[in-house]
Chains A and B, each alone.
Chain A
Amino acid sequence: MVELEDDVQMVSSELDRTFIFEDEGHTLGSLLTYVLESFPETNFCAYSVRHPSENKIYFRLKVKEGNIVEEVFKRGIQELNKVLNHVKKTFNKAITNYEGTK
């Protein structure tokens, strides 16, 4: 099998990193890109599934000068947690209301 890692930039820097998430797919990738690409600090953000039989995603995040890529990533995760908890809370409230009116 051809080494797929070859074209991944091996130089790690504070501004540009490619994370690899094993056992993940579009479910996680699209969520992360959705939140992270909206940040003003982000220069570039995308993910790819290199090959359908490879069960991992390559997630690249590039940030603007003066930021640290890990910090921006961490903030993205915090934002996602906030969103998901809000969805959960709102849904629970809607269910309670619905069951109350039934």
Chain B
Amino acid sequence: MSKMDNPIIMNKYSIERTLGNEIKPYNYEEFVKNFKVNIISCSETDMEFDLIGIDVALANSLRRVILSEVPSMAIEKVHIYQNTSYVLDEILAHRLGLIPLKADPRQFKMKEDENSEPNEHDSLVYEMKIKCTKKDLDALAHKQFISFPVYSKHIKWLPVGNQKDMFTENDVGINGDDILIAKLRPGQEIELKMFAVKGIPKDHAKFQSVCTSWYRMMPNIKLLDEIKGNDALLLQSCFPKGVIGLKSVKGVLVAFVENCRKDNSSRNVFRYKQFDDKILLSKIQDHFIFTIESIGAMKPNIIFLEAINIIIRKVNGALESALNQTEI
């Protein structure tokens, strides 16, 4: 592979874009021919996949939409009937808002009027009634903890309308039962009702359906010269584990590139003079390693599909808006 195939070269102090390798203009036939998706891993919460043959504009739009426009459910309003704990009302309400919910946002509608009564299609209602008494303190295994911790498991879901037939506590409850909300001293109590609605993370980060989502370009490492002996060991130590392999040729250790994907592009290798001009680090500009970490309400592959649907809606909305614009 020559310099020409590697448009983004990582030099010692700079990143070089070689001429003649600018990002190719869009062409549908070319795109269909080259585009590939490889799923590396996919679980309930994490997913890593490769998007190959895609432009940065599209990859970045997908990332932006996943982070700021895929909706989810979160607690929006809290009615506090009693709060004698040390946590102030507004701080308590804010903490409750940030608690992740299991509810699938696709089964709910956006609330049209903020002040309307909650109904079964747009809201979820939760309740928490807790009081710290002497007995609770005795029940604790560790007597030195004198405050009674309030966890998210103390929050109870209250079905609205026919939600009882549609969902179970397991579908729409709190995601994680050991989230600390407050700590109570004997005699203190909290009694409140919470209203969760559907929203987008642009309005508030609590509506995010991902912990984070990012992409990186596929690194490419090329050894231009044979690196042997102690230098091979040194070279291996410059990269994360598994990037550089060693093989024995007639009793001499020779370094070879084992797995580029594991490289984190640290460029540590340029600290050593002996590797100057012996190694070429570059990035493959149309190979994106995309990672989505879901909070748990939706599977990460569903989040990605939702993002695509949102972009399609956005694009068609833009056409409609453009055709209605008469001025300018």
Residue numbers of A with Cβ under 8 A of B are 8-10, 12, 17-22, 24-28, 30-35, 37-38, 70, 73-74, 77, 79-88, 90-95, 97-99
Contacts of B64 in A (CB 8 A): 25-27
Chain B: residues with CB nearer than 8 A to chain A? 25-28, 31-32, 35-39, 42, 49, 54-55, 57-58, 60-61, 64-65, 69, 301, 304-305, 308-309, 311-312, 314-316, 318-319, 321-323, 325, 327-328
B308 engages A87 (CB within 8 Å)? yes
Report which of A9, A84, A93 forms a contact with B315, defined as CB distance below 8 A: A84
> Which of B26, B69, B316, B328 is close to A8, meaning CB atoms less than 8 Å apart?
B328
Complex CA–CA separation, A10 to B309 (angstroms): 34
Residue from the list B26, B57, B325 in contact with A20, Cβ < 8 A: B325
Q: Which of A17, A30, A85 has the most CB of B within 10 A?
A: A30
Cβ–Cβ < 8 Å partners of B318 in chain A: 19, 21, 24, 28, 32, 77
**A33 engages B57 (CB within 8 Å):** yes
Interface on chain B toward A: helix, strand, loop, or mixed SS? helix
Q: Kindly provide the distance from the CB of B84 to the nearest chain A CB, expressed in whole angstroms.
A: 42
Query: Cα distance A21–B316 when bound, in Å?
Result: 12
Tell me if B321 and A22 are in contact (CB < 8 A): yes
Q: How far is the CA of A2 from the CA of B322 in the complex (A)?
A: 25
Within 8 Å CB of A8, what residues of B? 328
Given A20-B325, A86-B32, CB of A31 within 8 Å of CB of B58: yes
Say whether B37 contacts A81, CB under 8 Å.
Answer: no
Partner of B305, one of A37, A74, A88: A88
B315 cross-chain contacts in A, Cβ below 8 A? 28, 31-32, 77, 80-81, 84
The 8 Å CB contact of A34, one of B36, B38, B55, B308, is: B55
B311, A27: Cβ atoms closer than 8 Å? yes
B37 touches A9 (CB 8 A): no
